Amino acid sequence: MENSCVFCNINNENILFQNEHAFVIPDKFPQSKGHLLVISKKHVKTYFELSSDEKAAMLVLLDLAKIHTDEYHFPNGYNVSINAGEAAGQIIMHAHIHLIPRYGR
C-alpha cells in the first residue's frame, strides 16, 4: 500500500465486488455509462508484476463486473483494457483493468 496512491486509498463504500486480491469500483471519469475498474489490492505498477493467482483473481472479478453491467446497463459490447506503463497511456501507476461498455449498433 502506498499512501499517495489513489487506488490504495479507495473508500470501501465505492467497492462493488472484491476478493482476496482485487476489487471493482466505478471509474471516476467514465468513458461510457457503466465503466468499471478491476484493481489489484497489491500495489504494483502494472498487471504484469502480479502473480498468476493475483491475475486470476482479477479475471474472476472482471467476469462478475461484466455480468453486473449487463444487468444494469445493457451494453452492446465491451472494451477490456490494460494499460501498462506511461507510454501505453497508464495514468495511475497501480495495476488495474478497465471494463468499458459500448452502446449502439
Is 11 inside a domain boundary? yes
Residue by residue, pLDDT tens for the chain (105 residues) are: 678 999 999 989 999 999 999 999 999 999 999 999 999 999 999 999 999 999 999 999 999 999 999 999 999 999 999 999 999 999 999 999 999 999 987
Is 61 inside a domain boundary? yes
Nearest to 65 by CA among 93, 91, 7, 26: 26
CATH number at residue 77: 3.30.428.10
Is 1 inside a domain boundary? no
Residue listed under C-alpha cell 475498474: 37
Is 2 inside a domain boundary? no
Is 57 inside a domain boundary? yes
Is 56 inside a domain boundary? yes
Task: State pTM to two decimals.
Answer: 0.96
3-state SS of 11-70 is CHHHCCEECCCEEEEECCCCCCCCCEEEEECCCCCCHHHCCHHHHHHHHHHHHHHHHHHH
Is 32 inside a domain boundary? yes
pLDDT of residue 77: 98
Buried b (16+ CB within 10 A) or exposed e, 70-105: eeeeebeebeeeebeeeeeebeebbbbbbbbbeeee
pLDDT of residue 105: 75
pLDDT of residue 101: 98
**Residue positions annotated with a catalytic role:** 96
pLDDT of residue 33: 97
Residue 33 structural domain: 7-102
pLDDT of residue 3: 81
- Count of structural domains, the chain: 1
Is 96 inside a domain boundary? yes
Is 1 exposed, middle or buried, given 0-12, 13-18 or 19+ CB atoms closer than 10 A? exposed
* 48 phi and psi angles, rounded to 5 deg: -70, -10
